[in-house]
Amino acid sequence: MPELPEVETMRRGILAIEGATITAAEKVRCRCKPISIKPNPATIRRRVVGKQVQQVGRIGKRVVIQLENDDRLLFEPRMTGLVLVTDPPSPEHVRFRLEFSRGEKEVLYWDRRGLGMVYLLNDQQYQQRFGLRNLGPDALEVTGPMLKEIFGKSSRPIKVALLDQKKVAGIGNLYASEILHVAAIHPAKRCDKITKNQWHLIAQTTIDILQTAIAHEGSTLSDGTYRNALNDPGGYQNMHRVYDKQGEICPICMDTPITRIVQAQRSTFFCKTCQKRS
DNA sequence: CATATGTCCTGAGAGC
DNA sequence: TGCTCTCAGGACATAT
């Protein structure tokens, strides 16, 4: 589930490696099926060891370690990946590790289910892979007019559209429901029926919720998987209004139970009273 | 181009 | 108790 706030928290958790030099980079042997590491670990080692970390960034839901030669090492956590600088939740799920000069702590990529990836891209590969054709603008940067331009002619339901990373980067299943609840928009509303004022509200709400979630270091759900770089849980789950709360009373109207529906094979949670179709 | 669907993976929980 | 089954949802390949 790591979405923008969780990945941003991971990024901030390893900022101290900026300026340090990588002294080791290796795949960690584990009993589970190996995750995807591209190119192969030996090639990654050859290209990153001895290189200085210029910047630790984020592109959508990926952590980007940019090196002095503009090669970039990416961690893509997908469902259960974590970027850690300390004791992993379970040692057997550590998949990759980096060591640094200056006495910086090692950085681990941990992934219980192993759907995530570690990969290295040169500058050209990176620009192509994450150009605006393949990845939308960051969700923290959206405006009402931008959203109207991006989605305004689509017939898709707004909740499904918000998950499309080619349109806007960073929103996932959890925050899509939370955003639409605060913006008081029905998740099944067609994009082409959404007004200019509603696009403005969605943009504002998106930024507000994601920033608040970052301030609380993301959401650790009941499965407890997500952790920050120090293996501590996030805090934003305590501020969820609708996600995974079917049957509970809506905190806004204090009257209607939260409804769960399925859209594009994913759960959506909303309040039938606060989020009208109109 | 836009949109929909199947795939990967593990562990938790349900049902028997 | 222990087995089998279903489900969770990131990104991407493939199909329409």
**What residue ranges define each of the domains in chain A, with the CATH number in brackets?**
4-129 (3.20.190.10), 139-270 (1.10.8.50)
Average pLDDT over residues A106-114: 93
CA of A19 to C1' of B5 (A): 44
Average pLDDT over residues A161-190: 95
**Chain C bases near protein Cβ (<7 Å):** 8-12
Find the range with the poorest average confidence among A41-45, A80-84, A86-90. Answer: A86-90
For residue A244, which nucleotide's C1' is closest to its Cα? C8
Helix (H) or strand (E) holding A214: helix A196-215
CB A129 within 8 A of CB A111: no
Active-site position among A27, A61, A95, A159: A61
pLDDT tens-digit readout, A138-151: 999 999 999 999 99
**Has residue A257 got a pLDDT over 90?**
yes
A174 CB below 7 A from strand C atoms: yes
**Has residue A86 got a pLDDT over 90?**
no
CA A213 to chain centre: 11
Quick check: helix, strand or coil at residue A111? strand
Helix (H) or strand (E) holding A192: none
Residue with smallest Cα–C1' gap to B5 = A264
Q: Work out the pLDDT band at A222, boundaries 50, 70, 90.
A: confident
Q: Return d(Cα A206, Cα A202) in angstroms, integer.
A: 6
Q: Work out the pLDDT band at A219, boundaries 50, 70, 90.
A: very high
For residue A164, which nucleotide's C1' is closest to its Cα? C11
pLDDT at A155: 93
Active-site annotation holds for A2: yes
CB A140 within 8 A of CB A111: no
CB A201 within 8 A of CB A218: no
Active-site annotation holds for A68: no
What is the reported pTM? 0.96
Computed on alpha carbons and rounded to an integer, the radius of gyration of chain A in Å comes to: 20
pLDDT at A1: 79
Active-site annotation holds for A91: no
Q: Work out the pLDDT band at A132, boundaries 50, 70, 90.
A: confident
Residue with smallest Cα–C1' gap to B3 = A156
Residue with smallest Cα–C1' gap to B11 = A113
pLDDT at A111: 93
**Has residue A278 got a pLDDT over 80?**
no
pLDDT at A33: 83
Neighbouring residues of A64: CB distance < 8 A, sequence distance ≥ 6: A55, A56, A57, A58, A72, A73, A74
